Amino acid sequence: MPMPRLLLFIKIVILKFYKRFHPYFIGLTSKLIGIKKPFLLKRNLGKGQNTRNMSDILLTLHFLLTGPKQFQFGGHNYYFSWDQEDLLGVTPKNKKVDWLEARNECRKRCMDAVGMETEAEMQMIFELIRSRNITYIWTSGRLCDFKGCDERQDLKPLSVNGWFWSNTNTKMAPTNQIPPGWNSQPWSDKGHTGGPQPDNAEFGINQTPESCLAVLNGIYNDGIKLHDIACYHKKPYVCEDSELLIQYIEAVHNTKLN
């Protein structure tokens, strides 16, 4: 067994036994996975305290501290889902998931589905897709079409002003114009209906809204562009560091992850 996989196996075994032997393993597991202040975990395990989730917490912290760093841009780490090994050392080649599962898989590593707030970042992701000949990927882009959104005048009409990057809660520029300071329109000028994106095309077919944002590679002979897609469709995804999640974990566990 390769050494990195063997070490990970040892960590998992320790965590499996943690529930039974947690008073003895707090220090050991903390050292193995890099928790700098294990006494904070011990302090939360007082008499009568529910400890059944502590192994899950430690395993989560292991992911956060040893998350993938496949490539970097603008101080953030990124990875493409088909290149990242799972806990058993298996690379999930060709595995596709829906939009929400893509985000949840990223969150396991204190990351989130990619958001492309700048043109430079978007071009970096587009180049990854182009160079790898990837057909499509999920992003964190989402339409604000849930409860409360219809009350906000600044989001109307939703198809134009209602899109945002959910990884940073950043509102996107209106979809019917080039974003300020950008050189080109990231949304495609064609799709299933033949018109520009977003077009909510699937709603006219089966009443399923196209509320999630994907990058498609030439499916409509339009190059690499943004498309609105129904969230249940399955695709690979790109994850990037989530500063919001990192800050939350650091605050809860009083430890630095970087």
Strand, coil or helix: 98: coil
Q: What are 184-220's pLDDT values in tens digits?
A: 999 999 999 999 999 999 999 999 999 999 999 999 9
Task: Spell out a b/e string for 203-214, using b for 16 or more CB atoms within 10 Å of the CB, else e.
Answer: eeeeeeebbbbb
Q: What is the CATH number of domain 99-240?
A: 3.10.100.10
In the numeric block, which tokens belong to residue 190?
Answer: 């064609």
Which of 130, 82, 128, 124 is closest to 105 using CA atoms? 82
Q: What are 48-84's pLDDT values in tens digits?
A: 444 444 554 555 555 555 567 789 999 889 999 998 7
Domains of the chain by residue range = 1-66, 99-240
Position of tokens 């990195």?
A: 4
Q: What are 121-144's pLDDT values in tens digits?
A: 999 999 999 999 999 999 999 999
Which of 134, 120, 136 is closest to 188 using CA atoms? 136
- Phi/psi of residue 254, nearest 5 degrees: 50, 50
Q: What are 22-43's pLDDT values in tens digits?
A: 444 444 444 443 434 333 333 3
- What is the model's pLDDT at position 247? 75
Which of 142, 94, 149, 146 is closest to 114 using CA atoms? 142
Its pTM stands at 0.75
